[in-house]
Amino acid sequence: MFEAARIMAMYNGFIDFQEIDGREAGIVIVKQGLKLKANLHQKSLNSRFDILINTQLLQVGKTSLDFNMEFIDGTTKEVFGENIIKVVRMNRKTRRPMAFPDWFYEKYKSYTESTVPNVLTKQPLPEIPKNAFQFVVVPRHSDTDRNNHVNQSSYIKFCMDVATHASLSGYYAYYTQDMCLYAPLHWTISYVGECVANDNLHVYTWQDDDSAPSHIQFSILLKDRVIFHASTIFDSEPKKRRLPAKY
């Protein structure tokens, strides 16, 4: 939902996307935070309500920018979720950060002095414990995008699949069912590398400690190098399985 709304906003003029993304440069996500309400998990294809996505630019740097998205019930105005994102303009050949053009930086100069949200600041990644659960995942071509690498959302899918393997195998404390039944409440994600189709990814997951079993960590390694990390919080109670929606 957030990704679809983000693309629609960008192709309709938000951050002058089509002027800063092209053959030479692409816009890639390097950090994001997701907050979701547990009752959003109760929505189904039978839930008919107007959706409003509020997108707001927060901060502009030489090669990066931060923005926030709110997922809102268009009628009740209840906020179901928030997605705060840091993107970098990437040179498609060197795969390194590329400065925005002068006109862009001048146009958005009022955002250059803004404070970077804490969730988007660079933090040291935790060490993977020796007893972490491990599973190997191989991305397919359908997991990649126009930037010629695995799409940011695919990493979340990999984590959820491995989390369910860990849960059903009895590795996690308290979580024993398909992890899709436990509402994800919070994700803090760092993208620190890239991978492509057919790479062998080693996905590790573990819980912080017995006092906080809902805090689940994920690290994804490519050739012994961390390329992704996520710190998550899941609801403690599984939701009931729903029958297929009626049309």
Cα–Cα distance for residue pair 153/157, rounded to 1 Å: 7
pLDDT at 210: 67
State the pLDDT at residue 243: 58
Supply the pLDDT for residue 238. Answer: 87
Low-confidence ranges of the chain (pLDDT < 70): 44-47, 210-211, 242-247
pLDDT of residue 204: 98
Tell me how far apart the alpha carbons of residues 41 and 86 are, in angstroms, rounded to a whole number: 26
φ, ψ for residue 81 (rounded to 5)? -165, 165
Q: Would you state the pLDDT for residue 211? A: 65
> Amino acid letter at 167?
S
Report the predicted TM-score, pTM, of the whole model to 2 decimal places.
Answer: 0.90
Q: Which residues contact 66 (CB under 8 A, 6 or more apart)?
A: 57, 58, 59, 60, 84, 85, 86, 87, 114, 116, 117, 120
